[in-house]
Each structure stands twice: as structure tokens, then as C-alpha cells.
Structure 1
């Protein structure tokens, strides 16, 4: 009689590593080109014991199982998992054996008090800074990086021993993020699952785990609005969502709850047509934030879709735009269609707010009729501050029209020694058949 050995989590992980490698043959998943889904040589029991004795640390068992049964680092989320030796080199020795003071529910106020010595403007000595840093990072091992200032740590002691923490700079109001899984192996296996399922894992681990049905159930059973919001946010990892989930999201949007915009965004991510009525409603809303949300959604998900119907509404709504952020998104949506003109953007180009002017200058940079609209440009140059004039030159170049030459001549001394800007001035003169030294003459 044959007895089949029950598959363990470690067995599943080894099998899923192979599946993930075959799923992502072009290494398109973030960081995959670095580790190529290959792990390093496994750690022996003696090597592990020696490391723990040397560093006076007992590592969480799920992590040591990975090191000794799968590999001593290599393939893993983002740029992969450090070898234990490299992990130790990226972690302060004093921090390794310290108490871990971080926890998943840390408030902004608690975080700010903890990191205050690291974020205030007062000078502190290197030793004081290191001590404060070790206090924050204590009781954790750096097991990998996400790139730039973002790293991944393993909690070594305390109530949350074994959990993974995503770290970044010491910014006020931004406590470090504890992932949802309780241990290293669960977190690692989820990473493999999401690759195999073709999820969008650019920010793996930061969103609630689970498939569509699981997240819908979490939403329905959530004890508070925060959990509901996180359940919906977890759906952004799906590249497309099913019709039943779209129906669920429409129900959320129709109830007008605080997650309405998130639900609309998720619908539009899969099908802009399915979200059409919601987008038109937002575009016609009297609330400026609704207009901005609609523009953001159209910019994110409408690049390969015919937006003619929406563009018409946006152009008719330009008089409702009163801030730079909304205007920037108007530009992002309208520019590909050629709907931006100097005439319809004139109120923004001549606005008293220089940030709005700059956003309008950028939006009109591709307009081909700049010389024909020299009067509007003259108002910009006449009334704009130095930064506005600089941005006009940067994004428009030097517009070749004789009426604008006095303004460019006034700006010439500031830019003539900058080769990039100087060329713009000279090209303008050539187009007007004027000598290269025109701006230098009294």
C-alpha cells in the first residue's frame, strides 16, 4: 500500500516558485530581473546555529525554515530576499537585540513622538541619531529592499514576532506598514500566488489579500468603515474584475457611501463604459473634488478609449476649474484629443495665480498656433513673475513674433549663458531673419 506524503507549505512554495518562473518568463514582475526566481544555496543547521549564536538572536521559525529548506535568500518580493549574511550587514548590531517598539496599530501621534529626534530641525550628534534610529528599528532584521529608501524587515521579538514590516524614511504622520500575513512563509507564498494569478503586484503586500469573493465578504462583514475601505482597496491588485464584482461595486457606488469614488474607480479600471454614467455625473457635479476625481479616472484608465463624450463636457466645464491640480488633470485628459487651445485656456494663462498659469502653460505646450495668439502670450509675459516667464520659455520656447521681442530681450540676460535656453532665443531670431546678436544690442 502506498502512503502519499502530505504536501507541506514548504513543498508548495518550491512548486510555486517553478510556476511563477514559467508564468513570468519575460521577468516583467517588478524586481524579477534581479533575482530571476532563483534562490541561493540553503543554509545548513550548523550555519544557522552559528549565526544565531554570534548575533545573540533566535530567528522566527517560518523564516529559518525558508533559509534551511528553500534557500538562503534570492527570489522574493521586490528585489528579492537577502542572504542571512547580507541581512545582518544591513542591520545595526545593537538594533538586532533591542526591543521592537513598532506595532500595526501605531497612531500618527505615537509615531511622531517616537521619531521626533530623527525628524526635527535641531542638530544632534551622530551617536544620538544612531541611538534614536536603533530605538525605531530595534528588534527587526532587514531582509530585503523595495528600492530607493523602501526596505523590508522581519520582526524578531515581542507580540508581533515573525511579521514583515515595510519601512521608508522617517516621515511625520507615516508609521511603517505591517503586512497582513502573520509570518514570513505566508507572506512569501502570497507573493507567488499573486504572480501565478497574474495580479498587479507593483506594491505587493500593501493591499488586503484575497480574491474578489473573499474581499466582497470582508466588505459585507466588516465591523467598521476602515476595514470596508481596505477591502475595496484590495481589489486594485486585480487587472480586471468580473461582472458580478462590477455589480457589487455599482451597488456600493449607488448607496453614496464614503467608498463611492473608490468603487467608481474600480469599475472604470475594468471598463470605462461600465462607469460611464458615474463619470458623467461626477463631471456635472457642483463639487470641485468630484470633477477632479472624474478627471483623474479618465487620465488613468482612458488612454486607449474614445473620450469624445467626456471631452465635450470637460471643455464646457472649464469655467468651474479654480485650482492648479484640477487644471493639470484637465490638461492631461484634453491634450491627446487636441481640444486645448489658447483661446479656451486664456483665462488660466492670464490668471492671477502663478501656479494656475504654469499649469496652463504646460497644457498648451503642444498648441501649434502660438504665434497667432501672441496677444495672449504678451499678457503672460507682461504680467507673469520670473518663474512664469521661465516656464513659458521652457514649455513654449521663444515664440517668433516681433511684438514679443521686447519681453524676450528683457529676459535675455538671465538666460544667455544657459546653452539650452540660449538656443531657443537664437532659433527665434533666425526664424524672424534677425541677427544672432539682436538681444545684445541696446
Structure 2
């Protein structure tokens, strides 16, 4: 399994929080620079088995070694498993998050072989099969992790009105690390 420096990630997030006490940075008022505990291997495996998927290694190792959200890009990293209200994660449970967890949806084939321009009128439900929502950027724009097919492991942004569905990062580690390194 790919390794993350949990202490380094958490230290950087504390540094980011110290530099933004008013939580003025986009999304900080939602994720509050907090990381939930890492998930036990049994919980991750149960999720994979329930949905018939193997999570991409970079993401799987993050939730197993560092935490299950929320500090992260956009309004924060969505929890893999059921959000914990005591941890302030009730914001994550919306229609998009729940739709991801419908039986069989994550195991379906990701339908795109290349970027799709915005304004095509293609229904988001059709485009997001085989992907897991990572973050909400607001205004109906979501960041999704491709779970299967030739683009498995890539991170894509979906904005069906204007931006289409396009790759934004070759993998979870790059996507998350770029957020950590932003000034």
C-alpha cells in the first residue's frame, strides 16, 4: 500500500488553519481545517465489498492512514463512509453523496473515454457512474474520482452547465497535495 505521512499532512493543515484564522480561504468555513480519524481496514474493505469496487490505491491509503475528510479542496473532502454528525460532517450528506452509494452505481463502468465539453445537456447521473464524489466546489460543480476503466484513479471535475466533465489531476495524491501546497 502506498504510504502517506500522516503527521506531515496534519501539520500542514494546522499551519494552514493558523494562517487563516477567519477561515477566509474558499471552503474553510465548511471543512474548518479538521481531519477525521483514519478508517479501519475492515470498514474500507466492507465499503469496497458492498459496492463491488476496489478503491484507487492513492485514495484508499489516504483514508486508511490519514483521515476520512473533511479538510481538503473545495468545501472539503467528502467522507467515504457515513458522516459522523458529532464530527460536524452532516454537511456532506446531500443528494449527490447519497446517489453515489446507490447499489451498483460505483461498480458501473465510467462512461467517458475523453473530456466532455460543458453545455452538452448530458445528464450528470449518466456521466458520473463509476466515479466517487471527492469534493463539492459549489454551484453544482463536483470533483470526482474515477473508480474503473482506462481513467481509473484520475480526478475529474464535472460542471454540466459550463465546464463539462474534464480531468483535473492524474491521481488523488497529486490533487490533494496541490491543495496542501497552495499558499
- Interval of TM-score (by shorter of Structure 1 and Structure 2): 0.7 to 0.9
1:12 aligns with 2:8: yes
1:100 aligns with 2:110: yes
Measure the CA separation in 2 of the matches of 1:108 and 1:79: 24
Matched residue, 1:149: 140
Change (3 A) 1:108 1:142: closer
Number of residue equivalences: 167
Structure 2, unmatched stretches of 5+, are 83-91
The 5 Å alignment of 1:23-422 reads: 23-86=19-82, 89-91=98-100, 92-103=102-113, 105-106=114-115, 108=117, 112=120, 115=122, 118=123, 133-169=124-160, 171=161, 174-179=163-168, 181-194=169-182, 197=183
SS at match of 1:57: coil
Larger RCO (CA under 8 A, 6+ residues apart): 2
State the 1:12 CA deviation: 3.4
Q: Deviations over 1:275-332 (max 9, x none)?
A: xxxxxxxxxxxxxxxxxxxxxxxxxxxxxxxxxxxxxxxxxxxxxxxxxxxxxxxxxx
Change (3 A) 1:82 1:106: closer
Q: Deviations over 1:160-204 (max 9, x none)?
A: 2112111123x4x7421211x32112211110110xx2xxxxxxx
Moved more, 81-90 or 63-72: 81-90
Q: Deviations over 1:122-175 (max 9, x none)?
A: xxxxxxxxxxx5432111011221123111211101222112111123x4x742
Measure the CA separation in 2 of the matches of 1:107 and 1:55: 26
SS at match of 2:156: strand
Structure (1/2) with the larger helix percentage: 1
State the 1:106 CA deviation: 2.6
Structure (1/2) with the larger strand percentage: 2
Measure the CA separation in 2 of the matches of 1:15 and 1:146: 24
Q: Name the larger-Rg structure.
A: 1
State the 1:13 CA deviation: 2.2
Measure the CA separation in 1 of the matches of 2:48 and 2:116: 33
The answer to whether the Cα contact below 8 Å between 1:164 and 1:183 also exists between their aligned partners in 2 is yes
Q: RMSD of aligned C-alpha atoms?
A: 2.6
SS at match of 1:85: coil
Change (3 A) 1:33 1:107: closer
Measure the CA separation in 2 of the matches of 1:70 and 1:108: 34
TM-score normalised to structure 2 length: 0.79
Measure the CA separation in 1 of the matches of 2:38 and 2:116: 39
State the 1:84 CA deviation: 0.9
